[in-house]
Amino acid sequence: MSATITEGFLDNKIFDIVSDCARRQGVRAFVIGGYVRDCFLGRPCKDIDIVVEGSGIALATLVAETVHSKLSVFKNFGTAMLRYKGLEVEFVGARKESYRRESRNPIVEDGTLEEDQLRRDFTINAMAFSLQKEDFGALVDPFGGIRDLSAGIIRTPLDPDTTYSDDPLRMLRAIRFATKLSTPEHPFRIVDESLDSIRRNIDRMVILSKERIAEELNKILVTRAPSMAFFLMDATGMLDFVLPDLARLKGVETLEGKGHKENFSHTLMVLDNVCRLEEEAIAEGRLCDYDLEDNVEVVRLRTQPNVWLRWAALLHDVGKPQSKRFDPGTGWTFHSHEYIGAKMVPRIFKSLKLPLNEKMKYVQKLVSMHLRPIALVTDEVTDSAVRRLLFDAGNDIDDLMLLCNADITSKNPRKVERLRENFRLVEQKMAVVEEKDRIRNFKNPVTGNYIMAVFGIPPGRDIALIKEVVKDAILDGDIPNEFEPARELMLRRAAELGLSPREDYLSVPADIE
């Protein structure tokens, strides 16, 4: 990697505009941080941080006026942000920081570029490009960030104990950057003195908000292979603080010569498998996201990783420690771990201040159902079983199947291939059943309002019983998913309950409100 600009990193017009505006205001401006790092790594980056020896808001205001862009100002943080042709450009004044032990919020004062670089978390994030006319594009790298980037090293500019004690979130960020930046061709590692410092400073994490921890975990989960981060958390003692339920999956217990799968390593293998399979499916246009807009379902091709699918992978076996039992005849069992795990999801999400809305319910659903397709692999695949799987999973069936496919792991490659071949047969059966019976977005052909109108009865238990009979008959393949057969069955079941239809019931519209 070169320490000079030779590859057009600052060719975008916005850099010339910022340079000119800074000259007019008599201040010095620099591109700093992630954009500089990613330029040298050849990674795309649309977020640009500009540090100013002066007022970042004042320079941002002049740049926004010049490019006719709306400016968002955050006075409490001394920052401002604008968008320019697909780029997000944030401005901040150079500053120096000092910390109190009881808080990760710094005392901030105006500073120089050098003082601003000194407060940065890692050497690879402290590099800057000059935007001054006299040395436009020069690399300012006082801590050898370019060298560390080339060597694949995560290192702090200051003594790591000072860096991590001042802001313990940086310990989790070190793990995230090592994970995010690593590729098979160019792995990254945290230097030993930093790892040792993380172990010494774990107790400092008590001053962090759960929201900031969750934000870092979400960023880790959308990396290419997030298992690296969780192994690092385990190695440094951080996992017990961040996700103790995941930490409880570690270890193998042996009784009477019988051991069980090491569930922690297995979970992380499944997580990486999910990431790989989802990336492949996105590239091939095989995954969709479903949203409601004005009560109308909108379907879009997925273009970005679904972090909640990855949470489901991370937590899919979290109920195993509570369900673990030893049977002398069969060995270790984990019966009902999927249901136990699903019940644990709300508590885990609440502890991390993650959303408790439909995102949490989606994770719960996938955790509770992750064995269902596998059960179909080992049993005879009936249309009825496939219909019920499609009905229960709904629009989440593709993500569920992806998770289940990722969960097929074994040290025996022939066993894996056999299970995957059976799994492909299940997928083919699902496609046939779904095309024929339209079950994925199943709606009962007879609604509660229709039943009440036909029989002239108020809401009550009989309506639920009739609807359940019709639903089960469709899912079992006894009747087609059509209105007329459903109405005939409704009439028969109602007669058994002692209900008689109105004489003019045939005039009641099927879609009555």
Cα-flanking dihedrals φ and ψ of residue 51, to 5°? -105, 135
* Residue 57, CB-side half-sphere exposure with 13 Å CA sphere: 8
Measured distance between the N- and C-terminal CA atoms of the chain, rounded to whole angstroms: 68
Confidence class for position 109, pLDDT limits 50, 70, 90: low
- The two tokens of residue 293 are 């807009």
Residue 387 shares a structural domain with residue 468: no
On whether the CB atoms of residues 369 and 392 are closer than 8 A, the answer is yes
Residue 384 shares a structural domain with residue 477: no
**Predicted model pTM:** 0.85
Asked if residue 205 belongs to a domain, the reply is: no
- Give the model confidence (pLDDT) of 326-358 as tens digits: 888 888 888 899 999 999 999 999 999 999 999
* pLDDT, position 420: 81
By percentage, how much of the chain surpasses pLDDT 90?
67
Residue 421 shares a structural domain with residue 459: no
Whether 106 has a pLDDT exceeding 80, the answer reads no
Cα-flanking dihedrals φ and ψ of residue 172, to 5°? -70, -35
Asked if residue 204 belongs to a domain, the reply is: no
* pLDDT, position 216: 97
Helix count and strand count (H, E) for the chain: 24, 17
Residue 265 shares a structural domain with residue 146: no
Residue 404 shares a structural domain with residue 455: no
Residue 367 shares a structural domain with residue 502: no
Asked if residue 7 belongs to a domain, the reply is: no
* pLDDT, position 182: 96
Q: Write down which residue in 437, 469, 497 finishes a domain.
A: 437
Asked if residue 324 belongs to a domain, the reply is: yes
CATH code of the domain covering residue 150: 3.30.460.10
* pLDDT, position 426: 81
* pLDDT, position 3: 45
Whether 104 has a pLDDT exceeding 70, the answer reads no
Confidence class for position 441, pLDDT limits 50, 70, 90: low
* pLDDT, position 391: 84
Highest mean pLDDT among 92-101, 295-304, 447-456, 472-481: 447-456
At residue 372, what is the residue type?
R
Residue 467 shares a structural domain with residue 427: no
CB-based contacts of 225: which residues, under 8 Å, 6+ apart? 179, 182, 272, 275, 276
Highest mean pLDDT among 203-207, 223-227, 414-418: 223-227
Alpha-carbon distance of 360 to 364, in angstroms, equals 6
Q: Write down which residue in 98, 132, 154 finishes a domain.
A: 154
The position carrying tokens 């968002």 is 72
Asked if residue 177 belongs to a domain, the reply is: no
Alpha-carbon distance of 387 to 442, in angstroms, equals 10
* pLDDT, position 7: 62
Domain count, the chain: 3
Whether 513 has a pLDDT exceeding 70, the answer reads no
Residue 296 shares a structural domain with residue 383: yes
Asked if residue 197 belongs to a domain, the reply is: no
- The two tokens of residue 111 are 């500073």
Residue 421 shares a structural domain with residue 289: yes
Q: Write down which residue in 107, 128, 154 finishes a domain.
A: 154
Whether 437 has a pLDDT exceeding 70, the answer reads no
Residue 353 shares a structural domain with residue 318: yes
Q: What mean pLDDT do residues 348-373 have?
A: 95
Report the range of poorest mean pLDDT among 159-173, 270-284, 407-421.
407-421
Alpha-carbon distance of 13 to 67, in angstroms, equals 10
The answer to whether the Cα torsion of 283, 286, 287, 291 is positive or negative is positive
Structural domain for 470, as ranges: 448-507
Residue 459 shares a structural domain with residue 337: no
* pLDDT, position 102: 56
- Give the model confidence (pLDDT) of 60-72 as tens digits: 999 999 999 999 9
Residue 149 shares a structural domain with residue 265: no
- Give the model confidence (pLDDT) of 207-260 as tens digits: 999 999 999 999 999 999 999 999 999 999 999 999 999 999 998 777 766 777
Q: Average model confidence (pLDDT) for the chain?
A: 89
* pLDDT, position 373: 87
Confidence class for position 297, pLDDT limits 50, 70, 90: confident
* pLDDT, position 2: 40
Asked if residue 202 belongs to a domain, the reply is: no
Asked if residue 220 belongs to a domain, the reply is: no
